[in-house]
């Protein structure tokens, strides 16, 4: 996940820029742009900025408790070298090239055929097809963020799907700008020409599915064949959450469980593994409640001792004298339970 935001910034600009390069292959390299200026000017500002900000602020690989319990996860950042960045940048740019090429030629194949026309028999012009291509590019770029999001929040959902939904009213306003203000004559009436047509929605669907499905398959395959440490820990978190929700549904709400370094669950699953059934649901509820209390008290003691100078000094002296056992522990009994350290 390191540098994903930086690489995504290169990716999304490469998508709409390369579409004009691919269009040059079918326009005799005439340097004719396929997008209108209003679409280009708002691409980074309105349609792909909020998903990037939400992804950078709210996405997380694993929970904070797991990050504290497994500090070795931070080694991935320290091992990230310049050759690794260049390799990742190359992969992202290849993905951007494929997305731009597929969106362009899929829309041209469906909408640009001489026999393709609107319901009143008129053919779509260049900028009308360009709006369709730009629509597919915006949706593909936003869904690229959605595919790589690990932790969904309301802000992520609003940023991704809200940016996509806001594009269509903008196109409608853009198509009416010539009649209202005398500007953007090249896209006048474009919403009336595209939105009622099934071919337009077919072109968008084919373009977006063909762009995103390979990315999703590659991401899933990478997690199965070459998972990273945080992939495995996140999977354990999901399993633990599922089993805890199942227990809550069966026995009622429980106390919050403190996630330790072993990602222990709030109930004993040894009986389930052996196929042994407990005597009653009440016994399971009592054991889970007691487990939660023990873990919470142990976590509180650990936090207090980690900030206690006497504990740290005693531990350092014991290590220097080589008299420490693996299970040796300095108690904190001399501290008052309500004393603030």
Question: How do residues 91-149 score in pLDDT, each as one tens digit?
Answer: 999 999 999 999 999 999 988 776 666 666 666 788 999 999 999 999 999 999 999 99
Residues 6+ apart with CB under 8 A from 47: 138, 141, 142, 163, 164, 166, 167
Mean pLDDT of 195-220: 93
First to last CA, the chain: 36
CB 11 within 8 A of CB 141: yes
Residue 101 is predicted with a pLDDT of 95
Residues 6+ apart with CB under 8 A from 291: 257, 266, 267, 268
Q: Does the pLDDT of residue 296 top 70, yes or no? A: no
Arithmetic mean of pLDDT over the chain: 78
Q: Which two tokens stand for residue 223?
A: 């997690």
Residue 23 is predicted with a pLDDT of 93
Q: Which of 3, 138, 142 lies closest to 79, judged by CA?
A: 3
Residue with tokens 């669907």: 205
Q: Would you place residue 246 in the very low, low, confident or very high pLDDT band (cuts 50, 70, 90)?
A: confident
% residues pLDDT > 70 (the chain): 69
Please compute, for residue 301, the number of CA atoms within 13 A of its CA located in the half-sphere on the CB side. Answer: 12
Distance CA(171)–CA(189), nearest Å, equals 10
Q: Which of 107, 110, 105, 139 lies closest to 212, judged by CA?
A: 139
**Tell me: the pLDDT tens digits for 211-220?**
999 999 999 9
Helix runs in 72-188, H state only: 75-78, 82-111, 126-148, 154-175, 177-181
Of the ranges 122-126, 145-149, 206-210, 237-241, which one carries the lowest mean pLDDT score?
Answer: 122-126
Q: Which of 194, 103, 85 lies closest to 142, judged by CA?
A: 103
Residue 271 is predicted with a pLDDT of 42
Of the ranges 75-89, 173-187, 220-234, 306-320, which one carries the lowest mean pLDDT score?
Answer: 306-320
CB 308 within 8 A of CB 293: no
Q: Does the pLDDT of residue 331 top 60, yes or no? A: no
Q: Does the pLDDT of residue 61 top 60, yes or no? A: yes
Mean pLDDT of 261-267: 40
User: Taking the domains of the chain in order of start, what are their residue ranges?
Assistant: 4-226, 232-306, 307-341
Residue 124 is predicted with a pLDDT of 78
Q: Which of 211, 210, 213, 209 lies closest to 221, judged by CA?
A: 213
Of the ranges 16-25, 73-82, 213-222, which one carries the lowest mean pLDDT score?
Answer: 73-82
Residue 299 is predicted with a pLDDT of 56
Q: Would you place residue 168 in the very low, low, confident or very high pLDDT band (cuts 50, 70, 90)?
A: very high
**Range picked from 38-47, 56-65, 226-235, 326-335 for highest mean pLDDT:** 38-47
Q: Does the pLDDT of residue 329 top 70, yes or no? A: no
Of the ranges 97-106, 289-298, 315-324, which one carries the lowest mean pLDDT score?
Answer: 289-298
Q: Which two tokens stand for residue 229?
A: 């440490």
Torsion of CA 212, 216, 218, 223, to 10 degrees: 160
Mean pLDDT of 173-189: 90
Q: Which two tokens stand for residue 144?
A: 């690229």
Q: Would you place residue 1 in the very low, low, confident or very high pLDDT band (cuts 50, 70, 90)?
A: low
Q: Look at residue 127 and give its three-state secondary structure.
A: helix
Q: Which of 311, 312, 313 lies closest to 331, judged by CA?
A: 311
Distance CA(24)–CA(28), nearest Å, equals 6
Residue 96 is predicted with a pLDDT of 95
Distance CA(171)–CA(192), nearest Å, equals 10
Q: Chain-centre distance of CA 76, in angstroms?
A: 18
Of the ranges 49-63, 119-133, 222-236, which one carries the lowest mean pLDDT score?
Answer: 119-133
CB 69 within 8 A of CB 259: yes
CB 318 within 8 A of CB 324: yes
Q: Does the pLDDT of residue 65 top 90, yes or no? A: no
% residues pLDDT > 90 (the chain): 40
Residues 6+ apart with CB under 8 A from 95: 11, 144, 215
């Amino acid at each position: 996940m390191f540098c994903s935001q930086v690489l995504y910034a290169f990716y999304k600009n490469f998508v709409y820029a390369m579409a004009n390069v691919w269009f040059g292959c079918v326009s005799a390299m005439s340097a004719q742009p396929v997008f209108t200026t209003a679409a280009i000017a708002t691409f980074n500002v309105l349609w792909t900025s909020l998903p990037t900000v939400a992804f950078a602020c709210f996405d997380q690989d694993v929970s904070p408790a797991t990050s504290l319990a497994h500090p070795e996860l931070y080694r991935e950042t320290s091992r990230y070298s310049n050759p690794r960045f260049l390799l990742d940048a190359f992969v992202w740019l290849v993905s951007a090239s494929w997305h731009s090429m597929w969106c362009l030629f899929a829309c041209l194949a469906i909408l640009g055929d001489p026999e393709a026309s609107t319901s009143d028999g008129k053919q779509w012009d260049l900028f009308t097809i360009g709006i369709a291509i730009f629509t597919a590019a915006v949706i593909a770029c936003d869904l690229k963020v959605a595919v790589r999001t690990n932790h969904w929040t309301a802000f992520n959902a609003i940023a991704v799907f809200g940016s996509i939904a806001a594009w269509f009213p903008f196109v409608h306003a853009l198509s009416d700008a010539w009649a209202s203000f005398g500007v953007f004559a090249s896209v006048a009436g474009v919403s009336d020409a595209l939105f009622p047509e099934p071919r337009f929605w077919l072109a968008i669907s084919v373009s977006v599915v063909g762009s995103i499905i390979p990315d999703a398959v590659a991401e899933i395959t990478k997690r199965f064949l070459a998972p990273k440490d945080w992939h495995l820990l996140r999977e354990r978190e999901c399993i633990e959450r599922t089993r805890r929700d199942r227990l809550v549904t069966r026995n009622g709400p429980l106390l919050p469980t403190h996630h330790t370094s072993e990602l222990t669950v709030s109930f004993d699953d040894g009986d389930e593994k052996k196929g042994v059934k407990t005597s009653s649901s009440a016994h399971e509820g009592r054991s889970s409640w007691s487990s939660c209390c023990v873990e919470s008290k142990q976590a509180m003691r650990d936090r207090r001792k980690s900030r206690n100078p006497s504990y740290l000094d005693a531990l350092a002296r014991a290590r220097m004298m080589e008299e420490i056992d693996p299970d040796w522990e300095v108690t904190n009994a001399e501290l008052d339970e309500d004393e603030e350290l």
